[in-house]
Structure 1
Amino acid sequence: MDLGFTGSNAVVTGGSKGMGLAIAECLAAEGANVAVMARGRSALDAAVDALRAAGAPDAMGISVDMTDAASIADGFAAVSERWGSLNSLVHTIGPGDGYFEQMEDADWDAAFALGTMSGVRSIRAALPMLRAAEWARIVTLSAHSIQRQNPRIVAYTAAKAALSSITKNLSKSLAKDGILVNCVCPGTIVTASFTENLKDILAADGLDATDPRDVMTWIDNNFHQPCDLGRAGLPEEVASLTAYLASKRNGYVTGATVNVDGGSDFI
């Protein structure tokens, strides 16, 4: 299936690692010019090399502090200077986590600055370019936890729930411009950072943090939140759905919140 990305321009925030990088590589393989935004220069440089290898010779890696409004504006100004218009914005940034009793006011402020306001600021900065394009799509990445609560990630989930609400609202206000806006909610996904952060914890239970079935066993044992397929997901499985929603081929899906969670009780 041709998704219609050939010759188009896309930005993936948080696109230097994990699900963001998988999405960026998918868009590049489909023929899009891709710019990734993140803070770390070395990871950005590695991502650009990967995107060029995937099929995006004009790939850009832009160092942006997603907690800083001016830095975000400067990042999108660089995209505008290079390309002039933008077809696809995929926003993947997420904050840290913690239990309610651990969270001070500053922690809540930080969670919403990164988990919500980074999306608001990115979309605001991208809108002139999106409106200038022949076709345009926005996809935000929220989280399955907005429907299936987990006390360990209370501020993260609240920030992502706000982002999901904003996404739905924008699908209505931007429909008149022909800009389709959707939200993807990943479940448990085995990324490199997930494995690195939890490998010792899973190993203590005799489980392998790189094995999707072992990961889901640990999730079920500790949080009682299994999935119907009995395994965690992979970044490329989030990427394929996100790529469709961000594509020209998607002509009629807007305002949707789509789970990529291996099957759950939520619709």
Structure 2
Amino acid sequence: MDLGIAGKVALVTGGSAGIGLASAKSLAREGANVCVSARNPERLADAVVELQEFGGVVHAVLADVEDPAAAARVVAETRDVLGPVDILVANAGGPPAGRFVDMGLAEWDVAIQRNLLGTVRLIHAVLPEMRTRRWGRIVTITSRSVREALDGLALSNATRSAVAGVVRTLAREVAAEGVLINNVLPGSVDTDRLRELSGSAENLAARAAATPMGRIGRPEEIGDVVAFLAGEPASFVTGASLLVDGGETHVIA
């Protein structure tokens, strides 16, 4: 299937590893020119090498979306090197695990800056040009916790759900202008984050066994969904929060 995004400019934050890198690869494979942004310079350099194998133009910007100035800078540099951003994939590492009663206000401030306001700032930075061109795709990466709160992940449950609220609200406001905004909700996916939360190989295996498909997901399975939502075949999809979790979440229709 041709997704119709060859030559489009895509910006992927948190793009040096895991789901972010997988999303960047899926977009690059479809012919998009990709800018990846992340905090770790070594991982970012490695990501560029991997993405260049797909033949498109690749750029990298070292940045932390927790920094209030980062979004505007990353978007401006992407524009200077590749052109205006057509596709934004807003992705960031999850906040620390913990119960609400154990989290102080400082931890809440960090999580809100990174996992909510970081996304809001990125959208603010790309949205005006998308509206002017009457074409744009924004995909946020959150978590299945948007649909089913997960024990011991108070910060993630709250901030991820807030992002989903932004998506649902803004999607309705700009749909008629050709800007489509959707949210991807991964379940248990083979990333550093999941291994950290699991704590051991035994716990990771138990997670896999508890999933109806009997396994954890692969990052590229999320990346391909992101690319689909960015493409023309998904041109009537906006405001959605799409579970990609192997049936892990208990959803009542």
Q: Give the TM-score of the pair, scaled to structure 1.
A: 0.88
Q: Which one is further off, 169-178 or 80-89?
A: 80-89
1:135 to partner: Cα distance: 2.6
Contact 1:184 1:242 in 2 (8 A): yes
Q: 1:180 to 1:164 in 2, by over 3 A?
A: same
- 1:38 corresponds to which letter in structure 2? A
In the aligned structure 1, how far is the partner of 2:77 from the partner of 2:12? 14
- Paired residues in the alignment total 250
1:214 to partner: Cα distance: 4.7
Q: Does 1:60 align with 2:59?
A: yes
Taking the TM superposition and a 5 Å limit, the aligned residue runs for 1:253-264 are: 253-263=237-247, 264=249
1:41 to partner: Cα distance: 1.2
Q: Cα deviation per residue 1:88-133 (whole Å; 9 max; x = unaligned)?
A: 1111113332111220001011111111000000111111332354
Q: 1:145 to 1:127 in 2, by over 3 A?
A: same
Structure 1 vs Structure 2 CA RMSD = 1.8
Which residue number corresponds to residue 220 of structure 1? Answer: none
In the aligned structure 2, how far is the partner of 1:12 from the partner of 1:63? 12
In the aligned structure 1, how far is the partner of 2:48 from the partner of 2:130? 22
Q: Secondary structure of the residue that 2:117 maps to in structure 1? A: helix
Contact 2:170 2:181 in 1 (8 A): yes
In the aligned structure 2, how far is the partner of 1:145 from the partner of 1:245? 20
1:215 to partner: Cα distance: 3.6
Q: Secondary structure of the residue that 1:60 maps to in structure 2? A: strand
In the aligned structure 1, how far is the partner of 2:245 from the partner of 2:117? 25
Contact 2:134 2:177 in 1 (8 A): no
Taking the TM superposition and a 5 Å limit, the aligned residue runs for 1:44-123 are: 44-56=44-56, 58-93=57-92, 94-123=94-123
Q: Does 1:173 align with 2:173?
A: yes
Q: Secondary structure of the residue that 1:262 maps to in structure 2? A: coil
Q: 1:246 to 1:258 in 2, by over 3 A?
A: same
1:239 to partner: Cα distance: 0.9
Q: Which one is further off, 77-86 or 99-108?
A: 77-86
Q: Does 1:202 align with 2:200?
A: yes
Contact 2:19 2:222 in 1 (8 A): yes
Contact 1:85 1:133 in 2 (8 A): no
In the aligned structure 2, how far is the partner of 1:126 from the partner of 1:257? 20
Deviant stretches of 4+, over 4 Å: none
Q: 1:173 to 1:36 in 2, by over 3 A?
A: same
Which residue number corresponds to residue 222 of structure 1? Answer: none
Contact 1:87 1:134 in 2 (8 A): no
Q: Secondary structure of the residue that 1:2 maps to in structure 2? A: coil
In the aligned structure 1, how far is the partner of 2:74 from the partner of 2:211? 38
- 2:200 corresponds to which letter in structure 1? L
Q: 1:198 to 1:169 in 2, by over 3 A?
A: closer
1:181 to partner: Cα distance: 0.7
Contact 1:186 1:261 in 2 (8 A): yes
Taking the TM superposition and a 5 Å limit, the aligned residue runs for 1:106-255 are: 106-133=106-133, 135-195=135-195, 197=196, 201-203=199-201, 205=202, 209=204, 214-217=206-209, 226-255=210-239
- 1:73 corresponds to which letter in structure 2? A
In the aligned structure 2, how far is the partner of 1:133 from the partner of 1:15? 25
Q: Cα deviation per residue 1:118-167 (whole Å; 9 max; x = unaligned)?
A: 00001111113323546311111111012222221011110000000001
In the aligned structure 1, how far is the partner of 2:127 from the partner of 2:197? 38
In the aligned structure 2, how far is the partner of 1:99 from the partner of 1:192? 21
